Amino acid sequence: MRSRMILIVDDELRSREGMKKILEVWAAGQYEILTASNGVAAMQILEEIPVELMITDIRMPEISGLALISQMREKRIQRKPSVILISGHAEFEYAQQAIHLSVVDYLLKPASREKLIASVEDALKAGEEQEHIVFMRKMADPQLMAIREEEAALSDPVRQAMHYVEMHIEEAISLQEVAGHVHLNGSYFSSLFKEQCQMNFSEYVARRKLQKAKELLLKTNLPIAEIASRTGYQTVKYFNKLFKEYDGMSPGQYRSKRNGMDGHIQ
């Protein structure tokens, strides 16, 4: 498994190596600390290696830190890292541009060990949260999202039924079972659910189970048979058939395609 990367960009050798030593002790092997002495070298690294966090000086020859961030945002690189800017000068204009470029933090040189580490930890956390949001958007079923957005307007029995599905996602779930749970006649519950959610209850269950399956396909290396079992399907054949019906490809193809697009997701 490839190491997680932090990139330090600074044309001053002492500053660059000082930060590297501090972060190597802090990282304790969990991150590899890369360095670049200028923006050109930094861009080459970013184009070749997925970096989680970049710490860059603002004032550098050829390409400034701000120009480097702008170039990085425009280029198609494997991963756009979170960014911390460092500067020897407290200039308001720099801080304004940093905010515009969505920089996580802005540190003045020389930053203390404590401030540097705190800033790095905050930036990595922010990056993970953003990555999770992007990940969930890529997996999201638009029809399930539409129902979630209107959840407050749904009746109590329908909300209870949706909660029941969440709690029993690893089991086979029948309409009659859920109707009994919400104390309604099966036919009435079926009509009520379709009226409020614009889809049959069985379709809702299938979509929610497939959403869970997609999460397992991308976040784990579990065999497809195990994923089918964990989403309440007794046979892989039926699971594959249903997945292809809704997504136009097999679970294996979905995993390969998505992991090819987002190689950093494990």
- Tens of pLDDT along 214-237? 989 988 899 999 999 999 998 999
pLDDT of residue 99: 67
- Rounded (5°) CA angle 134-218-27: 70
pLDDT digit string, tens, across residues 40-67: 999 999 999 999 999 999 888 888 888 9
Min mean pLDDT across 5-14, 89-98, 212-221 is at: 89-98
Residue 238 token pair: 């039926």
The mean per-residue pLDDT over the stretch 144-157 comes to: 92
pLDDT at 262 over 60: no
258 Cβ neighbours under 8 A, 6+ residues apart: 138, 217, 218, 265
pLDDT at 92: 59
- Retrieve residue 195's tokens: 């009226």
Contact criterion met (CB below 8 Å) for 197 and 147: yes
What's residue 133's pLDDT? 77
Does the pLDDT at position 257 exceed 50? Answer: yes
pLDDT of residue 263: 44
Quickly list DSSP for 182-230: TT--HHHHHHHHHHHHSS-HHHHHHHHHHHHHHHHHHH----HHHHHHH
Mean pLDDT (whole number) for 152-157: 94
Lowest-confidence region among 25-34, 73-82, 191-200: 73-82
pLDDT band at residue 260 under the 50/70/90 scheme: low
Q: Is the pLDDT of residue 134 over 80?
A: no
Distance separating alpha carbons of residues 152 and 154, to the nearest angstrom:
6
- Give the model's pLDDT for residue 2: 54
Residues forming a β-bridge with 54: 7, 83
Q: Mean of the pLDDT values across residues 126-139?
A: 79
Which domains are delineated in the chain? 4-133 (3.40.50.2300), 142-261 (1.10.10.60)
Which of the four pLDDT bands, split at 50, 70 and 90, describes residue 264? very low
* pLDDT for res 103: 85
Residue 52 pLDDT: 93
